Amino acid sequence: MRNRRRLPALHGLIVAATLAFAAPASASTWAHPVNIVAIRAQPDTAAKRVATTRLLTEDKLAEVYLVLQRRDGWVKVRVPGRPNGRTGWVRRTALGPLNTVDTRITVNRKTATLTLTKAGRTVFKTRVGVGKPSTPTPAGHFWVREKLRLTNAPMYGAYALGTSAYAKVSDWPGGGVVGIHGTDQPELIPGRPSHGCVRVRNADMTRLYTFTPVGTPITIV
């Protein structure tokens, strides 16, 4: 009987420990793929294929998948590529180690601002340039797939963040991918000078690059 009386207290300790080690609400999880596999509409090998994982980005860096949910050996991920906004399921074994970040970027196209938060607190905010009305920066939920140091490309500055967003036209080499990068025309910021990318003054881009890890979620409104 004594042991039974102690069970509720023990259960409380277990719950408290679980909560203590759980990721905070502001955290997000990401992983690199380790296999090329089908991404399914449901956590079932017979479900419709949404896409196929890819190991590298367009810039030949390790691809990044944002993890949304885990269930019975499956992982729900956001899918980079057109059309924007796709999600799907892969086996947990298709991904490498899970990584956690507590940073988040929000781009407001109306106010031409970019805000970086960490653990829910604003650590950086700046004015930016976004897409023209004819070539808009797409709205939605995205993430940072790669961090790039640039050379001999003054129109992009010294640093850039490659995102999972795709535009009809883009300033980025190869087209399509929406980058967050520096500029050699800071006088156009704030404004709508781009073909879809987000332009940041070079000094601000250096700070953003420093404080933003791969896997950081991006919300564009």
Q: Which residues are catalytic?
A: 181, 197
Contact 192, 133 (CB under 8 A): yes
Q: How far apart are CA 125 and CA 128, in angstroms?
A: 10
Q: Tokens for 74?
A: 């499956």
What's the CA gap between 63 and 108, in Å, rounded? 26
196: left (phi over 0), alpha (psi -120 to 50) or beta: left
How far is residue 221's CA from residue 40's CA, in Å, rounded to a whole number? 28
- Residue 88 tokens read as 């799907």
